[in-house]
Chains A and B, each alone.
Chain A
């Protein structure tokens, strides 16, 4: 399939380690944030979301942290597995807007 994110920053981790992927967003008025995972040849897959009135949300093996003071979002993946290898995008939605603005993406490479 097509390769997504040929020249993206890459985070390399060992299988079983925890991964942290960071994202800086642009609009202090954004009220909703989403993390997506994109594998080669596929569309972005929803992982987890968080509203601006929260600073932490947990899912299965994933946690999203939101720091509105410095406009920073992070995705933590526990016990990273080879199947987690993909490009990860954060996306923000400005208040009153219907569009998502995507970050540049980070490639996660998981090594056995």
Chain B
């Protein structure tokens, strides 16, 4: 079975532009989460979606938004890009319902560079 897949793998944007990142979860997983990983640090939580509803949001500005589709795939949108948005954006899926204790499985991320 395929793992979590993310596209694109790399992206270069300029300040002020908008970007959309895509994620397909492991088959059968209904929960998708997004994390931002700045070089040299651990991933930071951005969003969690379960059954197409937002179930959690991290400490990120409103320029960050996401959605989950009926097939459980997800998109992360970032508007008005800043240099500080340069990071590895990770998508993770899990088979748990909210509150259950099951691990997140991560994709290999999208490397976003803002110039």
Contacts and interface: CB of A to CB of B under 8 A. Distances in A.
A51 B101 contact: yes
Nearest to B98: A98
Interface string A43-75: 111100101000000000000000000000000
A99 B106 contact: no
Contact of B39 (A6, A46, A100, A102): A6
Nearest to A41: B108
B45 A100 contact: yes
A96 B100 CA distance: 9
A50 to B, nearest CB: 9
Interface residues of B, number: 29
Residue among A7, A42, A44 with the most chain B CB within 10 A?
A44
**A interface residue count range (under 10 / 10 to 19 / 20 to 34 / 35 or more):** 20 to 34
Contacts of B28: none
Nearest to B10: A2
Residue among B45, B92, B111 with the most chain A CB within 10 A?
B45
A6 B105 CA distance: 23
Contacts of A96: 99
A6 B40 contact: yes
B56 interface: yes
B90 A34 contact: no
Nearest to B103: A46
Interface of B: 4, 33, 35, 39-45, 48, 50, 55-56, 58, 88, 90, 92, 98-99, 101, 103-109, 111
Closest 5 CB pairs of A and B: A102-B42, A43-B106, A99-B45, A32-B101, A98-B56
